[in-house]
């Protein structure tokens, strides 16, 4: 078998990838809402999984609200160091936001141990003390998402956006449905089992890049 490498300049690879994704979506007869398309396409770009064309759910007006939040300095709280690692922090800092992940913090480990809960849960509780605008990007732990849901219901935190994309097989589907049931919380949810820290990070980046281009 002859293996032929396509001659594409490094700086053109992303545009070429998005063109391929766009074409294949058209061939499948899938038409994406214009404002959601950059987010959906970037999830497909990150995973090569076209399921994201169908499983991403957006609350009403969420893109506009998310861009407004980032433009006004919102910070992002993630539930994994991997998610934190994947977010374009330089660009986000340009708008005044930071990225937090409390999972490795000593006080979080201690609080989780004392309360007999997970560090993911303790991380969400720690985030309540932050006084800035907050976006939550949860790509791993359904327990984080469930606790976040409770904290929102209790009025202890009011996120600008919840990116609810944990991946897995135990309480993952349910945790996302809880977030969808909230009335006043803007969300982007990957319905079903799929998601991940990479998906959480890439949704953040898609939003940041939309703002860079607007």
- Sheet with 187-190, strands from edge to edge, namely 56-58, 187-190, 161-164, 134-138, 75-78, 99-101
Q: Judge contact between 56 and 189, C-beta under 8 A.
A: yes
117 binds a copy of itself, rule: CB under 8 A: yes
Please give the Cα distance from 22 to 207 (Å, whole number).
18
How many residues interact with a copy of itself (rule CB under 8 A)? 47
Round to whole Å and give the CA distance between 78 and 117: 18
Cβ atoms within 10 A of the Cβ of 48, count? 9
CB of 117 to a copy of itself, least distance (A): 8
151 in contact with a copy of itself (CB under 8 A): no
- Closer of 42 and 133 to a copy of itself (Cβ): 42
146 lies in the site for a copy of itself, by CB under 8 A = yes
Segment contacting a copy of itself (CB under 8 A): 59-67, 150-158, 166-174, 203-211? 166-174
Interaction of residue 13 with a copy of itself, rule CB under 8 A: yes
DSSP string, 174-214: HHHHHHHT-SS--EEEE-SS---HHHHHHHHHHHHHHHHH-
- With contacts defined by CB under 8 A, name the span among 32-40, 58-66, 67-75, 172-180 that binds a copy of itself: 172-180
In whole angstroms, the minimum distance from the beta carbon of 153 to a copy of itself comes to 13
CA angle 36, 173, 147 (to 5 degrees): 95
Residue from 31, 72, 174, 212 binding a copy of itself (CB under 8 A): 174
| Tokens encoding 104 | 């490795």
Beta strand 187-190 pairing with 56-58: antiparallel
Among 65, 88, 193, 211, binds a copy of itself (CB under 8 A): 193
| Active-site residue identified among 32, 45, 89, 95 | 45
Site for a copy of itself in 39-68 (CB under 8 A): 45-49, 51
Q: Do 71 and 208 contact (CB within 8 A), yes or no? A: no
Query: Would you tell me how many other CB atoms lie within 10 Å of the CB of residue 111?
Result: 18
Q: How far is the CB of 167 from a copy of itself (least distance, A)?
A: 5
Q: Is 68 a catalytic residue?
A: no
Binding residues vs a copy of itself (CB under 8 A): 1, 3-6, 8, 10, 13, 16-17, 20-21, 45-49, 51, 80-82, 84-86, 117-118, 143, 146, 167-172, 174-175, 177-178, 181, 192-198, 201
Catalytic residue positions, numbered: 45
């Amino acid at each position: 078998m002859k293996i032929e490498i396509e001659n594409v300049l490094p700086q053109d690879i992303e545009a070429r990838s998005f063109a391929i994704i766009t074409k294949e979506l058209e061939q499948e007869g899938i038409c994406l809402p214009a404002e959601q398309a950059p987010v959906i396409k970037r999830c497909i770009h990150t995973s090569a999984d076209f399921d994201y064309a169908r499983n991403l759910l957006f609350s009403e007006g969420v893109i506009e609200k998310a861009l407004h939040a980032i433009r006004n300095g919102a910070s992002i709280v993630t539930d994994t160091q991997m998610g934190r690692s994947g977010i374009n922090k330089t660009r986000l800092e340009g708008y005044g936001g930071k990225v937090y992940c409390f999972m490795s913090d000593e006080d979080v480990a201690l609080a989780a141990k004392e309360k007999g809960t997970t560090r993911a849960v303790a991380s969400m509780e720690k985030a309540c003390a932050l006084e800035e605008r907050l976006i939550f990007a949860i790509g791993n732990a359904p327990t984080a998402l469930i606790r976040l849901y409770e904290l929102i219901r209790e009025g202890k935190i009011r996120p600008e956006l919840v990116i609810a994309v944990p991946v897995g097989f135990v309480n993952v589907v349910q945790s996302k449905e809880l977030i969808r049931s909230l009335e006043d919380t803007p969300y982007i949810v990957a319905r079903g089992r799929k998601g991940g820290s990479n998906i959480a990070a890439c949704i953040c980046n898609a939003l940041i890049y939309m703002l860079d281009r607007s």
